[in-house]
A and B are shown apart, each in its own frame.
Chain A
């Protein structure tokens, strides 16, 4: 492999994403953690661009770096916003988990390592949004509509669960 610009970009983005993830694991202040994760999300958006998925990249920035991070921050603010106490779970569970994660990673890694898919040329980057739109509204119209139901459900559900009690219990 050559050190093309694309590669450097990938390396940087990947590094940022992983660092964001590692920070998530190691920081103690919850707000900091979420900020760290924003880096990851943005980096992932960059990766999408490398993968000729501009529309997804846009969606990624909007939804993850924007919406989800914000509601999570809201969530933190609404609850214990200054919570920094990050008690560690018991050692054996972490060890257990770590072993599991490593094992899993190892097994999957040998599957994807040097994976040669011999892809054909493609034209995803051309009019990416148009392609997505066409596919979405023709072939995938049923899941699309179903997703709207799902969003409605999530909306209603979030409201009824999160809204303050009218009966003034508190």
Chain B
């Protein structure tokens, strides 16, 4: 079959997931945080698509799942950005570490 083992794809997904996660939890600009989350979801999609082809029982369902994930991710990004804009209007900042009026 293929010369590329499934684990290579999975490993790639894992790496991207971790990068996305690290970005989401360390970047200061909220837009970047949001987009890092998208990267994490992308990594998930790689997993799904990989399993769709190389999984224990390959099926199209994985791709369907990925499609839904993409849709949801897009919607989430849009809403996140809208909230950011509303916030920016009031606070004039996009820095995530300045959003701490509520704590403890």
Contacts and interface: CB of A to CB of B under 8 A. Distances in A.
A44 B46 contact: yes
Contacts, number: 239
Contacts of B31: 30, 34, 72, 75-76, 79
Interface of B: 1-12, 14-16, 18-23, 25-29, 31-32, 34-36, 38-39, 42, 45-46, 49-61, 63-64, 66-68, 70-79, 81-86, 88-89, 93-95, 97
Q: What's the interface size class on A, roughly?
A: 35 or more
Contacts of B97: 87, 89
Contact of B29 (A25, A30, A122, A155): A30
A68 B53 contact: no
A47 B46 CA distance: 8
A6 B61 contact: no
Q: State the main secondary structure of chain A at its contact with B.
A: helix
Nearest to B76: A154
Given A71-B77, A72-B31, A120 B58 contact: yes
Contacts of B61: 135
28 contacts: A1-B3, A6-B4, A21-B39, A44-B42, A52-B53, A56-B63, A63-B70, A63-B71, A64-B42, A72-B77, A80-B93, A87-B95, A89-B26, A97-B25, A98-B22, A101-B18, A109-B11, A112-B11, A113-B11, A120-B57, A140-B64, A140-B68, A147-B68, A154-B76, A154-B79, A155-B78, A158-B81, A170-B89
